[in-house]
Structure 1
Amino acid sequence: MAVPLNEAVGQLVHDGDTVALEGFTHLIPVAAGHEIIRQGLRDLTLVRMTPDIVYDQLIGAGCARKLVFSWGGNPGVGSLHRFRDAVTRSWPVPLEIEEHSHAGMANRYVAGASGLPFAVLRGYSGTDLVGNNPHIKTITCPFTGQELAAVPALNPDVTIIHAQRADTAGNVQLWGITGIQKEAAMAADRVLVTVEEVVEELEPVPGQVVLPARVVDAVSVVPGGAAPSYAHGYYERDNSAYKDWDAVGRDREAFGAWLAELTGSTGPDTSSTSDPEPVGKGA
């Protein structure tokens, strides 16, 4: 079941796919995101409740054509500047965005995992999202007559998550802040999990989530695969890395140098006619 990360990404992720790399503060699949960049995948619809710096990197590398999300930023630091550059100046490629609330995104995953066509919730009432997102509809409850919001189920082509460990049969175990990983995996057509280690047998842990091998297409052993986010029980969050990214992300040339180091090739052309984002404390 365990395969090298480059092979797993090559087999499971394709140009044009809808790809969810889920993780909330914890267990973010950063190494897998970097491998997507190295393989030069393009025209992806990236999905995540809270895109942070790895999504900034994917967008800056030109991998994404669309982002579906509910909040985006460099947590504890500020904006995602490659994300902003793509939206406001189409650099390196134009980026379409589809914004939801946290509740809307979570319920979309749940509907997808449940085999339902849409999710129903009370949220969105009184917000501007309804007028700006054609995928949010209003329906009437057939029992009470109450007006509710409906959003389509979310079924990624590929969901990628990071977890603490898997066993040799391919069952995956994660614990700590687990976010929406389980639902995102159950909703997807294909699932790739990077793990800190593979063990013979999974020992029970309080609050654990176990994904059965039948829903996992590939497991890749990638120690440190969530860094600079943290993996509960294995390593802590590297706060300095998030702070350092702010300076890199602000500047196209600095980002190009980072990308060249990651991929071993030249980065995107920074001599675009679009003006780069000005550096400013509040930007």
Structure 2
Amino acid sequence: MSEFLPLAEAVRRNLHDGDTVAFEGFTHLIPHAAGHEAIRQGFRDLTLLRMTPDIIYDQMIGMGMAKKVIFSYAGNPGVGLLRRMRDAIENQHPRSIETVEHSHSAMAQAYEAGASGLPCAIFRGYKGADLPKVNPDIRSVTCPFSGEELAAIPAHRPDVTFIHAQKANQKGDVLVEGIIGVQKEAALAARRVVVTVEEVVPDFAGLHPNLCILPHWTIHAIAVVPGGAHPSYTHGYYARDNAAYLEWDKISADRELFDSWIRDNVLSVGPEIFAARVEPLR
């Protein structure tokens, strides 16, 4: 059952050293505030799951929090490389990390399998691709009905999933609007779920019935963090901060500049700073 908590307490109760954790969001609703709280609390040896690791994982990797990253595309969206991730892979700075690469489809299928309580995902894919040569988790099975050879990969079952959403109601249900991505599947696949939201409303009366709603019994903790997806956007609340993504390319290219940025923008501030960074849509 969902419980309303301050972000620091929600993270402290649900994330632990050595966990497999997903901070999911697609284009918008990326849970940056939750990621920054994890950095402040200094977790170690995490396995990071994400369809499209972007700058929040670059920051966590740069802080030495990750031992392994399971992903399908890694980059600073619209800009280029994840330079802290590359430094870890190529130079083992600040530590070495293991990488497991999949296709977008495979990652989505693995979340779906986890959400369905299945041990693996089976799908058409990887035919003619080279990823199976470097990823031993990609296997093949024969369909017992058609004889067709299909791809199989382990289901994603995170210890904890963090997502950001627009609203929670007073009962603890969560409303996700706009591009959904795999947040729903990542939440349902996880053993524990923490959601940051822009606001709490009395109920969802009068909203379109086809919106994505996670019921309160799927969620362990909700933290109200206005602006908590910045610099990504939250549909209906604020726009993407393109300048921040461009600036990150410069910051992440230099180890000392990265350390200074983390100290000034993460370690020495709290989640309330996120509200000050966004300009509400008019």
Which residue of structure 1 aligns with residue 261 of structure 2? 258
2:214 corresponding residue in structure 1: 211
Runs of 4+ in 1 over 2 A off after TM superposition: none
Distance (whole Å) between structure 1 residues aligned to residue 267 and residue 96 of structure 2: 22
CA offset digits 1:183-210 (Å, max 9, x no partner): 0000000000000001110132365210
Distance 1:237 1:195 in 2: 17
Q: Distance in 2 between matches of 1:155 and 1:162?
A: 19
Structure-2 separation of matches of 1:208 and 1:82: 36
Partner of 2:55: 53
Partner residue, 1:180: 182
Q: Which residue of 1 aligns with 2:162?
A: 160
What's the TM-score, normalizing by structure 2? Answer: 0.92
The match for 2:28 is 26
SS at match of 2:4: coil
1:63 equivalent to 2:65? Answer yes
Mapped to 2, the partners of 1:72 and 1:207 lie a distance apart of: 31
Partner in structure 2 of residue 44 of structure 1: 46
Identity of aligned residues (%): 59
Is this contact kept in 2: 1:124–1:149, CA < 8 A? yes
Give the letter for the 2:81 counterpart: S
Q: 2:229 aligns with which of 211, 226, 231?
A: 226
> Separation in 1 of the partners of 2:161 and 2:204?
22
Contact 1:175-1:207 within 8 A present in 2 as well = no
Q: Does 1:108 align with 2:144?
A: no
Q: CA RMSD in A?
A: 1.0
Deviation digits for residues 108-156 of structure 1 (CA, Å, limit 9, x no counterpart): 0000000111111111111111111111101111111111100111100
Q: What does residue 277 of structure 1 align with?
A: none
Residues 74 and 80, structure 1, Cα contact 8 Å, conserved in 2? yes
Tell me the CA shift for residue 264 of structure 1. Answer: 3.3
Is 1:82 aligned to residue 93 of structure 2? no
Q: Give unmatched runs, 5+ long, in structure 1.
A: 266-283
| Aligned residue number for residue 275 of structure 2 | none
Residue 252 of structure 2 corresponds to which residue in structure 1? 249
Q: Tell me which moved more, 121-130 or 184-193.
A: 121-130
TM-score (norm 1): 0.92
> How many residues are aligned here?
265
Letter in 1 for 2:178: G
Q: Does 1:6 align with 2:16?
A: no
| 3-state SS of 1:155 partner | coil
State the one-letter code of the partner of 2:98.
E
Match of 1:278 in 2: none
* Alpha carbons 1:163, 1:196 under 8 Å: kept: yes
Kindly report which structure 2 residues correspond to 1:131-170, keeping only aligned pairs within 5 A, or say none.
Answer: 131-170=133-172
User: Secondary structure of the equivalent of 2:37?
Assistant: helix
Quick one: which amino acid aligns to residue 224 of structure 2? Answer: V
Structure 2 distance, partners of 1:264, 1:239, is: 24
Distance 2:64 2:200 in 1: 33
User: d(CA) in 1 for partners of 2:138 and 2:156?
Assistant: 13
Q: For 2:41 and 2:88, how far apart are their aligned partners in 1? A: 20
- CA gap of 1:207–1:51, structure 2 versus 1, over 3 A, is farther
Q: In structure 2, what is the Cα distance between the partners aligned to 1:191 and 1:81?
A: 29
- Residue type matched to 1:263 in 2? L
Counterpart residue number, 2:242: 239
Q: Residue type matched to 2:216 in 1?
A: A
Provide the rounded CA distance (Å) in 1 between the counterparts of 2:209 and 2:180: 12
Question: Runs of 5+ in structure 2 lacking a partner?
Answer: 270-282
